[in-house]
Amino acid sequence: MTKRISSKIARGSGELAILSLLAEEPLYGFEIARQIGERTDGALQFTLASLYPLLYEMEKRGWVEGHWQNNHAGRDRRYYRLTTAGRKQLPPLRAQWRSFFQALDSLAGVSHA
């Protein structure tokens, strides 16, 4: 299993992680946290405390919007979907992170660590 990344780094990457997931399909909070954990092999993990402030912040910026809907188990869950503004954020965010990794690599050689 991949080593778990510290929560501070994970939180920094949260926006990109959430936007990338929601670009595929609308999801509710618990599903977002679970899919991030599963798809990063446990390296990135979001708890309730780290996920929701971020989601609400992104909602405030108009990147995502939430609406109540029944999930497959018939329960009311608040699903988040990407807005047009959120979709526009994805390419520049990806580019920023790419530059960040390249910069860190040239400085600390992280790709060979």
Partner 1 sequence: MPEPVKPDWMQIVRHHLAGARSCRQEIVAELAAHLEEVYEESRASNICDPEAMRITLEQVDDWQALAMEIACAKSQEDSMDHQSMNQRTKSFWLPTIAVLFGVGLLLLFLDHAAIPQRLIWIACMGLLLGAAGSEANRMNLRTSSLWLPGFVSLTAASLLMFAEEIVLTHDPSFYFTDISLRPGHLISGLPRWFYIGWLLGQVLCGGMGAFLSRRGGGTPAARVVAGAFPALVMFLLCGLVIPVSALFEHNTTALSHPSRLALGILIWAAVPAGALLLGAAPFLRESTPQAA
Among 25, 41, 57, 105, binds partner 1 (CB under 8 A): 57
Among the listed ranges 13-21, 70-78, 86-94, 101-109, the one in contact with partner 1 (CB under 8 A) is 70-78
Strand order in the sheet with 27-28: 27-28, 76-82, 64-70
Q: Check binding of 77 to partner 1 (CB under 8 A).
A: yes
Out of 47, 99, 106, 111, the only residue in the binding site for partner 1 (CB under 8 A) is: 47
Quickly count helices (H) and strands (E) in the chain.
Answer: 5, 3
Residue 54 contacts residue 32 (beta carbons within 8 Å): no
Question: What is the length of the chain?
Answer: 113
Binding residues for partner 1, total number by CB under 8 A:
20
- 47: DSSP letter: -
Of the ranges 24-32, 84-92, 93-101, 103-111, which one interacts with partner 1 (CB under 8 A)? 24-32
* Cβ at position 24, least distance to partner 1 in Å: 20
